[in-house]
Structures are given as C-alpha cells and as structure tokens.
A and B are shown apart, each in its own frame.
Chain A
Amino acid sequence: MAGSVFSSEKYREKLDLISADVLKNVGISRGFIIWMGILFAAFAACIYAYTIQLRTGLGVTGLRDVTSWGMYIANFVFFVATSLVGMLISCVLGLSGATWVKPISRIAEIIAVAFAAVAGLVIISDMGRPDRLPYVFLFGRVQSPILWDVSVVTTYFVLSLLLWLFPMIPDLAVAKGKLQGQPEFLSKAYNLLSFGWIHNEKQYLIIGQGVRILLILIIPTAFAIHTVTSWLFAVTPRAGWDSTIFGPYFISGAFVSGTAAVIIAMYFFRKSYNLDKYLTDSHFDKMGKVFILISILYIYFNINEFLVPGYKLKAADAIHLRELFAGEHAFLFWGVQLLGLIIPVFLMLFRRIRKPLPMLFISIVMLAAAWLKRYIIVVPPQAHPYLPVQNVPVEWVVYKPTLIESLVTLASILLVLIIITLLSKLFPVIPIWELAEEEAKKELKET
C-alpha cells in the first residue's frame, strides 16, 4: 500500500471535520475578555498584598521561627504535584497504547505547563530576599536539594511546554487559514508556530518520532521533580518528614491532585467550548477508573506513612502523630483522608457516579483536599521540634496564615487560571490531527 494514512483522502476529510468543531470556540470572545478581566483584576489586588510583604518582610505572614515554612511551601508542593499529571496522561497512558487519552492529552499538558510555570514563581514569594534569586545560579551548591529542585522543575516546564507545542504544529497549520473574525496577531502567531508545516509525509514521520522522544524524556523528569520536592523535607531529621517513602508517597499523591485538575478542566472545556463530541461521557468514566486506581495507590502509601511509625511510636513521631490523629490537626487530617480520598474512591466505584457532573464535584473536593494534604505534610511537623519552644511570643508557637499570605497564595492560583485560559482559548484544546489520524485509520480498516 502506497502512502500512509496522512496522504489519504479520508484523513483530509476528518481533518476538516474535526478542525471545524474544535476551532469554533478558539479565539477572543466577549466571554473570554470578561473572564480575563476578572482574573486580572483579582490578580492585581493580590499582587498588591505581595508588595506589602516585600516592603515589610515575611513578618506579615503567619510564619515565625518555629513554623518557618507554611502555606507558601505547601502551595508550591501542591503546584509541582498537580503538574505531574502531564506525565501520567500523555506518557504513561499514551505510550502504553491507550488511545482514548488522545483528546485529553493536550488538556493534561496545559495543566502541566501552567502548574509547573507557576510552581517556579511561587517559591520566590517564600524567599526572605527575592532580590538575591540570581545567587542560586551564581553561588549554587549542587549538594543542596534546592538546586536539584530548581533544575528539574525548569527542565520539566520546558519539556512540558514542548510537549504541548510540538504535537500542535500540524493543528496550527490547519487552523491558521480557518480563523474567522479573529485579530490578525493570532493568525500570525499560528503561522509562526506552525513552522512552515505543509502536511508532508516526512514531516509526520519526524513529528511522530519527536513526540515519542519527548514522551519518554518526560517520565524520568517528572519522577525527579516530585521526588526531589519530597526530599526538601525527607532530608531533614524532623519527625513527620524523616521518611524513606516520601518520594513515592509524593508522586502517588501528585497523580491524585493532577487527575482531579484534569477532570475539572475537561468538564469546563467540554461545557464552554462545546466539545461533547470529543470529551465524551466515556472519557469521564475512564478517567474515573484511572482516578480509583491512583487513589488506591495513594491510600496504600498513606497507610505505610502513618501506620509504620504509629506502630513504633518513637518519641518525636508519637507527638507528631497524636497531633494529627487526635490533636490540633485531627479535624483537618481525617477530613482530608476520609472526604478527600477514601469516600470518593468508594463513590467512584459506581458507574453512575463516573458521569461528568458527579466527577466534577468529586474532583473539586479531591483537589481541595490535595491542597490541604500538602498543608498537613508541611506545617504540623514543625510545630513540635525536638527541643521545647520556650520564651517566645504566643504568635510564634502556633502558625496561623494571615490575610496577606492567603492573598499571595491566591495570586498564584489566579495566575494558573490565567495561563490555562490563555492556552486553552487561544489555541485548539483538542488535538486535531491526532484524532483525525485515529478516526481515518479506523475507517480505512473497516472498508
């Protein structure tokens, strides 16, 4: 048989069909402008809060010598965690031949890019001297896990950005002539980013290989970013952080929060971009099954993380675990574990729950729980250091996040939403050519 599917008439046909559907909602609309206006206004207000912190110092937060890492670090861990889903969907499922993930893969990459980019930024808000950020590169010590973290997060961000852009090149070539009523800069950007794509057989061959290389490269990088992030804690001798399973514990948790984020994004993209045809109920059903699997994996690591030290009750571990199980943080801890992990898994076992709307609710709860779980991991282990906390003001003993701190944290979440909106609204959110290839292949086989 001469020529591959890409030269077939069927493929062209499908390309036109799918691009018409997908591109209908791409571009600047009034809703987009209003939504972005709200996001930017809120973002500006939050940035004002950060300027207060810059002037006065980190004293405007609830952080003190006892609990010196708080909401900012928890938020950073959450962001790194959520970005990991790009690797799970596109690489692990994609490479294993699960073709149903194709319409979701770009959504997963958008989540990965947005969260990884902002993760790199939010860490600056926790720095006492953000003006000295260049010192990390000028005087960096490779022995410090912070250096590892900085290098792998940037690498992961770049790879994720490439994995978002690279498979989109043919789509942009298709789309550049089909934008109607859109400003010129958009078609210019499409033209530029489609890098002279002419739907040549050889080009398809190269892009196939390139994407495959990226997919493979991202797997170890993604494992590295969250393992290293977990080591920021695990390399210290504090009870509650001093754990050998922190790497896999964090990675399994990361899949949970990332999957939740993707399902939420799927729901809203489907609704507002009219993509019911591509993000079908079956996709929500399958994502629900994936969710069950990784949540059970996470529950397994939770059992390891809490049962083993709980069995031995070494002095410092005992204090820490009592605080979590029955003390100051018990409400949060059990709330997160039950409402945010165990009960949703049970619910998702029912097919009726694995529908778009129930999945949306479950995902929102689990994403919020994932954020709070990072808070539980970061904050409580500092409240009870080895030596007693004495002769300090009361504010120093118990950590309470302040309004300014919360606003700065909110700024990072808004920035994620801004990036997700930009990437999903100005560019096709469903991979056009990959779906066209898939469908053309299927139909050619049938005939």
Chain B
Amino acid sequence: MSSKKKKKEPTEIEEILESSRRDFLKKVGIVGAASVAGGAAIYSGYQFEKAKKHEEIVKVLTEDNRLVEIPRDQMKDYKPDLKVLQKRGRKGIEGKRWVMVIDLSKCRNARKCVGACQAAHHLRPYEYHINTLVMQESANTPEYFMPKPCQHCDNPPCVSVCPVDATFKRQDGIVLIDNERCIGCRFCMAACPYSARMFHWREPVAAGQDQGNEYNVELNVPQKKGTISKCLFSADRLRDGMLPYCVSACPNGVFYFGDENENAVTNGTTKETVNLKELLEQNGGYRLMAELGTKPRVYYLPPKNRIFEFKKGPDTEYKEIT
C-alpha cells in the first residue's frame, strides 16, 4: 500500500530531482543548439577567411594617379552617371581637332555608313545623321554619290541661333546636341544650310528599349521626343580611341578620319593612315558651300577617276513609321 502510495505521491526529494532533471535536459538542449550554431559560424568564418587568402588583389590606378590595391571581388565596372557624361561630353577631348575627308570618287552608294549610324543611334530608316545623296552640278557634269554627315562647322550657324545652349561647339571641333536641354524650337534646323539636323516628331523608335538608360550626350541615346538629333562624329567612339561608326562601316574606302593637329587621317576601310594636307592637296580637296563662311570640318575629294560605273539603284520607298 505504502509503495503504491509512494509511487502516486512522490517525496519532496523526488520532486526536486525530477525538476532538476527537466532543467538539465533543457540546458543541455540549449547548449547543444548554441554550440552547433556557433560551430557553424566559426566554420563559415574560417571558410571565408580561407577564401580571402586565395582572393586575387588587383592594382588599380585611381583618377588622381595613385596606384592602389583592391580585391578583385570588390571591383565594379565604372559606369559614368549623367553628370559625368554631360561634363565630359560638353568639354570634348583635349588636344584634338577632329576632321573628316570624304572621297567621292570611291562612293558607290552602299549606304553601309547610313545603316551603321542608324543602328548606333537608334534611328528609323529615314532618320539621318548621315545620308547619301545623288548629286549633279549641271546637266553636262556627271552624277555622283555624296555621303553627307553634319559638317561640324567652325562657324556653325546652328550654334549661333540656339536660344538655350543646347547645341554647342566643343574644343575638339565637334558640334553636339544636348537633348536634356533642347526645347525643340528648331531654329538650328532653319539655320543649317546643309540640312544636317533631324527632329523627333514622334516618340523615338527605340524609346521603350532605351528607357531608364543614362543619357550619353556623345551618342545622343536615348533619343528624346520633341528634341533635335544630329551627327556627332561618333564622339563616344572617339573617346574610346575608335573610328566613327560610318567610317568603320564603309566597304569602299570612302571615309578618312583623324586629327587635324596631327595632320593625319585614317581610312576606315583600309586602316591606312595618310598625311591630311597631302591628301587634300593631291586630290583637290574642297568644302561644301565654302562661300557661306561656315568653315566645315568635313572635306570632300572630287568624284574624279572613278573606277566603277555610276549606277543608281532602284529607288527605295520610305514609309513613315508612327
């Protein structure tokens, strides 16, 4: 009876023992969990430290000319923001005076220059920074093809008339348009005798695809509705030490491009670099409508000694895309 009774009613000692056992188990559980967690943390920390030891350190030259070391995984590609793009875009590339020479005797109207330009600047097939025209001075003189980019005049009528400094002349001779500034008055179009400028009458063709991209004044992309666009001498490519899009795309060696200060121009097709002055002198170089006093930076070589037959292709019909 008593044992039964004992079983049913534990003594005080038993109670104490029982509770301490529960306590003990609880504590063990906590300690166990904690040590597993701690171990994992230590392990991962160890792994991290180990990985760091094998991390490659790279030497980087900073903007202020300091050579510094940073781990490779902390490197980020530099993407200039709008402020930087605008500042350097308006300033231009120091020490350069860009110049283009177009050899009309070689142009077969391949229009590769046009296509490359339109692809780079996100334009419709009939929106031109460069257009190739069929020219004829008089009934007795032959027809010829003439690629016509912006002439990047040294006395640019477009820049003179702009009311808000949206179009401007840079120190390297390039005339650019800032579509963050342009109010769309089109005075520059009225003033340009070369019809070099175009206007975004509607939403630009790549507006959706370009949305959110930082505006680069040297590429004029993203294009903007209600603003002007024009040939930029591929200022973005020049910054990267490359020839303009049209110059590189030409299959017939029509374009030479280079720096007037160096007196050297490079042919975009053959990659041959020649003396600018000699090229102009030996081939009778001239500028379009020099009598207007605009002082273009684009020179033309006359269409003489053409080694191919002048052949006008079938007229392409351009339909407006809305």
Interface residue ranges, A against B (CB under 8 Å) = 56-59, 63-66, 68-69, 126-129, 132-133, 135-136, 138-141, 143-147, 150, 232-233, 235-238, 241, 382, 385-393, 395-396
Contacts and interface: CB of A to CB of B under 8 A. Distances in A.
A128 B186 contact: yes
B184 A127 contact: yes
B25 interface: no
Nearest to B114: A391
Contact of A132 (B134, B183, B186): B183
A57 B202 contact: yes
B164 interface: yes
B295 to A, nearest CB: 13
Given A129-B182, A387-B194, A232 B160 contact: no
Contacts of A132: 164, 181-184
Nearest to A149: B163
B148 interface: yes
A65 B230 CA distance: 12
Contact of A65 (B181, B197, B319): B197
B68 to A, nearest CB: 39
B161 to A, nearest CB: 5
Interface centre among A58, A145, A147 (most CB of B within 10 A): A58
Contacts of A57: 200-203, 225-226
B86 to A, nearest CB: 13
Contacts of B198: 65
A74 B22 CA distance: 97
Contact of A68 (B131, B164, B186, B316): B186
Closest 8 CB pairs of A and B: A128-B184, A128-B226, A59-B201, A59-B202, A146-B163, A144-B163, A132-B183, A139-B164
Question: Which applies to chain A's interface (DSSP): helix, strand, loop or mixed?
Answer: loop
B285 interface: no
Nearest to B182: A129
Interface string B187-211: 1011101110111111100000000
Contact of A387 (B195, B202, B228): B195
A56 B322 CA distance: 10
A141 B166 CA distance: 10
Contacts, number: 141
Contact of B184 (A58, A238, A385): A58
A388 B185 contact: no
Interface in B125-173: 126, 128, 131-135, 148, 157, 160-165
A140 B164 contact: yes
Given A57-B201, A63-B201, A391 B164 contact: no
Contacts of A387: 133, 148, 194-195, 288
B30 interface: no
Contact of B190 (A68, A147, A389, A393): A68
B320 interface: yes
Contacts of B187: 144-146, 232
A65 B127 CA distance: 9
A66 to B, nearest CB: 8
A235 B187 CA distance: 10
Contacts of B148: 387
B78 interface: no
Given A65-B189, A386-B194, A391-B131, A141 B165 contact: yes
A396 B126 contact: yes
10 contacts: A65-B189, A65-B198, A128-B227, A132-B182, A232-B190, A237-B193, A389-B195, A391-B126, A391-B132, A393-B320
Given A69-B186, A128-B184, A236 B203 contact: no
A396 B199 CA distance: 12
A53 to B, nearest CB: 10
Contact of B183 (A135, A386, A395): A135
B48 interface: no
A391 B181 CA distance: 29
B322 A59 contact: yes
A235 B161 contact: yes
Given A59-B201, A144-B163, A393-B320, 16 more contacts: A58-B199, A65-B189, A127-B184, A129-B182, A129-B184, A129-B226, A129-B227, A236-B161, A237-B294, A241-B190, A386-B194, A386-B195, A388-B134, A393-B319, A395-B320, A396-B320
Which of B160, B164, B318 lies at the interface centre, i.e. has the most chain A CB atoms within 10 A of its CB? Answer: B164
A171 to B, nearest CB: 40
Nearest to A144: B163
A140 B166 CA distance: 10
Contact of A141 (B133, B164, B318): B164
B162 A56 contact: no
B164 A237 contact: no
B200 A128 contact: yes
Given A127-B183, A391-B126, A56 B157 contact: no
Given A58-B226, A126-B185, A393 B318 contact: yes
A233 B157 CA distance: 12
B135 A388 contact: yes
A148 to B, nearest CB: 10
Contacts of A386: 193-195, 289
Nearest to B132: A391
Nearest to B168: A141
A392 B318 contact: yes
A143 to B, nearest CB: 6
Given A128-B184, A129-B182, A64 B164 contact: no
A132 B162 CA distance: 14
Contacts of A126: 185-186
B292 interface: yes
B168 to A, nearest CB: 10
Contacts of A66: 195
B163 A140 contact: yes
Interface in B231-252: none
A438 B189 CA distance: 54
B246 to A, nearest CB: 15
A420 B66 CA distance: 71
A396 B189 CA distance: 14
